[in-house]
Amino acid sequence: MIGVYDSGLGGVSVLRAIHALLPQHDLHYLADTAYFPYGPLSAATVCERALECVGALIAHGAALAVVACNTASSAALEPLRAHYAIPIVGVEPGIKPAVAVTRTRRIGVLATGGTLQGERFSRLVQRYANDVQVQTVPAPALVEQVEAGQLATPDTHALLHEYLDPLIAAGVDTVVLGCTHFHFLSDTIRQILGESITLIDTSLPVARRTADLAQQIARGTGRVQFFTTGDPAQISVALGYMWAGATVQPLEDMPRVRC
């Protein structure tokens, strides 16, 4: 079984890409909604939650885990790999592919504060974007809109303009979606940005990496199950927009791990 974990429902975008490539593998998705959102939390707290959530997926039988959250990957990917023996895939903003396609040498990154302030993001920029102007935009309110299932409302559209219009005015020709939640807003984002600006979404590359590692684990029946550390009723409606017919179960017996 492959376990996929996020602070909320944004990682369902990665789950869908994985399921498309690996339809015969069983998948467990865990939303840590008891601690959502991760943005205001300290890096140490996010790291501990990541260790506990991945530990819970392993206890359920995961032979491979995907941390489908940029903030959790930034805070905890190295500790996770040191603590657990199974392969662990993380996500990170697509700085490298953005730099590869930009013509103006100006790119924008839409993400959460936790991701943008993390050491992992700084390393990405230093490694791949030394000669590129990188304009970052923290957009935590968009995460809240997606989590509430408000994908195409006037409020969400207004927020997108608030975050994207400065990037357009700055002359960027490439925008990186640095949060898995933003995938669900990509159609509207593309409409606002126009055809001349490239949008970078890393869901598919993460799924491809997962598929490569999944060659080492047994296939299942293709069953997909959803779990939450919080109240299932709070995310059931929004989850239904993302995965037709999905039901979510409460997760019990979380391990306690220190980062």
Residues 6+ apart with CB under 8 A from 34: 228, 229, 230
Across the range 195-222, mean pLDDT stands at: 93
Percentages of the chain per state (helix, strand, coil), in multiples of 5: 45, 15, 35
In a domain, 259, yes or no: no
Verify whether residue 179 is a known catalytic residue.
yes
Sign of CA dihedral 189, 193, 194, 198: negative
Query: Is 80 inside any structural domain?
Result: yes
Catalytic residue selected from 47, 53, 69, 259: 69
Does the annotation count 69 as an active-site position? yes
How far is 25 from 213, CA to CA, in rounded Å?
A: 12
Instruction: Please check whether residues 99 and 196 belong to one and the same domain.
Output: yes
Residue 257 lies in a domain: no
Which residue range(s) make up the domain with 135?
A: 95-201
Instruction: Tell me the pTM.
Output: 0.89
Based on the structure, what is the number of domains in the chain? 2
CATH number at residue 213: 3.40.50.1860
**What is the overall mean pLDDT for the chain?**
93
Q: pLDDT category, 259, cuts 50, 70, 90?
A: low
- Do 117 and 165 fall into the same domain? yes
In which element (H, E) is residue 137 found?
Answer: strand 133-138
Q: Is residue 223 over pLDDT 90?
A: yes
